[in-house]
Structure 1
């Protein structure tokens, strides 16, 4: 493909010939032909086969919003001639990233890196990768696509918080959890033996009757649970930045609970997003699920979503408007602790009060950490 410089040279050559030829200037024809020959030579330069091994590597493949993510471009010249004038073009979230590749001698390789945009959450498609080859004068360019697009998962940012441990469960048998400590004494049921189970919990009668080693599954009536509700209505936020902060707040709360191996339910206006039982590594699952959460016009208001939230433990409601505060106050008797977090600029005179509800205004994650109840 002829570049702008190439088309400019073609136009200049035609103009020189059109002006000089009628006046009898032989030099005009020579200049015009020289310009056209230069463009043709550039086309032959780029059309000549180039044996290049090109590979892109995205690292890390999962990154917190705003943290750096880098693409490493590995280019190797497998041909017999030196290659120069290589420019790589990559695309990420509609943003085009251009990077020059240093000249490559015969059988040599170079690695160049460039940053990828991570301001917004989501599953981001990186690519396609296109390598441009131009002639030494930049008159003609040839573009070749290499490889397949890669995926970059931009997840919410988090801040360490104290889990809202809210006392006893109101259910008679407590919360079912395989992470319950061995000292728990409430019997919940039987299950197959798994390597590593305490042999003191083997139920020998059932084992003798079924021929399969069975163990007692216990519950811990003191195991605190947390319900985190994220308001996903479009009208609840003034802009994208406020919603991104709300997702960060919900992720911080849920991850603080799962990292201490306590159960948490994560709800949105579209229903239950996740029910983590307190197992190891579930904070990673929380971040992965929240990475793809978006606002929706079909999202229910918090009051409707809380009807299915159960009772007991702690409730954390995150929204961008105080219109959702009455919904939190209305269910305060169903939970041991209720926290309402409103994201955005602080209001004049401070946040409104609600009986039985801890109200927090968070302009950023630092504000959340400072005001979070301990």
Structure 2
């Protein structure tokens, strides 16, 4: 297909040629013919389809917001001619990333690397890849898609936080413990027997069905657990950057608990987000879940606390909200007595100016956070309070 320049040259040639002949201007007619011939040569130049192999790799496939990620594209010339004038165009989200390809001799391969945008959370589709061949004058080009699409998952940024004490003892074995007191254990899963397991926990029905000795794995429910309320309302935040910082704060709190293998329950006014029991790779699952959290248009955050009225009691409650609209935040008073500890994070660029201003549920400890560095400093103080 012709580029914008190519269409302009063709139109100029189509006008100059007949006008020059009609008015007796040989130079104008010659220029018009040259323009038409240049477009014809450009089309013939780009007509042959390149015979190439293309393979893309995203490294890493999961990355924190703002951290570097790159695409690695390996092009192999599987044809019998040297290919020149190629450009690789890779679609990344809503923008195109264009990389020039050096001449490829037959049978040779070349790796291209290019940075991928990671400024915003979410699933960023990468691809499909297009190879663009243009003539030296840029009059014509030919595009051909290669391969499919990949996904780059941009997750929240986290800072290392201590676990907020909640009045319960930390079990040294973590939540999936086979040595905790029986009164604090609930069934978690079945697994194969290993030498040293208590034979009283053998599940004989599953053993007979599978032919493999299976035992019950129990969860220590006496462990400190964290309930996290994330306010996702648009009106609660002055800007999108403030909301992104709030998600980063929520991710940091949740990841600190999950990293210590403690249960985490994450909710918003739009409903439950994620629940982990402290086993497995819960920290990664929390970051993946928070990577796709979006802002809501609800007016009040009250609904986030409705499901907490039946909370079994104990643990820490952390409320993450912005510096804007506070409608519904007073509902924390209804549920605060069911938790050992309650903390509210007021997140946003204006947080520093609000430190001396009473907010909703003023008797609940509040941390005003304008950056992750301030969260780290304030959270450490709160943890030893």
Secondary structure (helix, strand or coil) at the match of 2:274 reads strand
Name the structure 2 match of 1:166. Answer: 166
Pick the aligned partner of 1:371 from 363, 368, 378.
378
Name the structure 2 match of 1:338. Answer: 342
Name the structure 2 match of 1:256. Answer: 256
Name the structure 2 match of 1:101. Answer: 101
Name the structure 2 match of 1:327. Answer: 331
- TM-score, normalized by length of structure 2? 0.85
Name the structure 2 match of 1:13. Answer: 13
- TM-score, normalized by length of structure 1? 0.88
Change in CA separation of 1:270 and 1:73 when aligned onto 2, cut-off 3 Å: same
Encode CA deviations 1:133-174: one digit per residue, 9 max, x unaligned: 0112221111111111111111111111111121239xxxx9
Encode CA deviations 1:46-72: one digit per residue, 9 max, x unaligned: 112321112222221111111112111
1-side partners of 2:29 and 2:216: how far apart?
A: 97
Encode CA deviations 1:269-290: one digit per residue, 9 max, x unaligned: 1222222111131100001111
Name the structure 1 match of 2:305. Answer: 306
Checking the alignment, whether the CA contact within 8 Å between 1:202 and 1:216 is kept in structure 2 is: no
Change in CA separation of 1:342 and 1:313 when aligned onto 2, cut-off 3 Å: same
Q: How does 1:121-160 map to 2 (within 5 A)?
A: 121-160=121-160
Q: How does 1:72-221 map to 2 (within 5 A)?
A: 72-168=72-168, 178-180=175-177, 182-186=179-183, 188=185, 194-196=192-194, 198-199=196-197, 201-203=198-200, 220=220
Secondary structure (helix, strand or coil) at the match of 1:30 reads helix
Shift of 1:356: 5.1
Work out the number of aligned pairs and report it: 365
Shift of 1:34: 2.3
Q: How does 1:41-52 map to 2 (within 5 A)?
A: 41-52=41-52
Encode CA deviations 1:249-308: one digit per residue, 9 max, x unaligned: 11111100010011111111122222211113110000111111112235x844332232
Q: CA RMSD for the aligned pairs?
A: 2.8
More off after superposition, 91-100 vs 15-24: 15-24
2-side partners of 1:284 and 1:340: how far apart?
A: 24
Q: Which runs of 5+ in 1 are unaligned?
A: none
Shift of 1:23: 3.8
More off after superposition, 327-336 vs 80-89: 327-336
2-side partners of 1:134 and 1:261: how far apart?
A: 56
2-side partners of 1:240 and 1:333: how far apart?
A: 33
Encode CA deviations 1:198-241: one digit per residue, 9 max, x unaligned: 42x32189869x97967576564641111011112222122211
Change in CA separation of 1:356 and 1:336 when aligned onto 2, cut-off 3 Å: farther
Change in CA separation of 1:45 and 1:207 when aligned onto 2, cut-off 3 Å: closer
Encode CA deviations 1:315-350: one digit per residue, 9 max, x unaligned: 000011472542334433221110100111223452
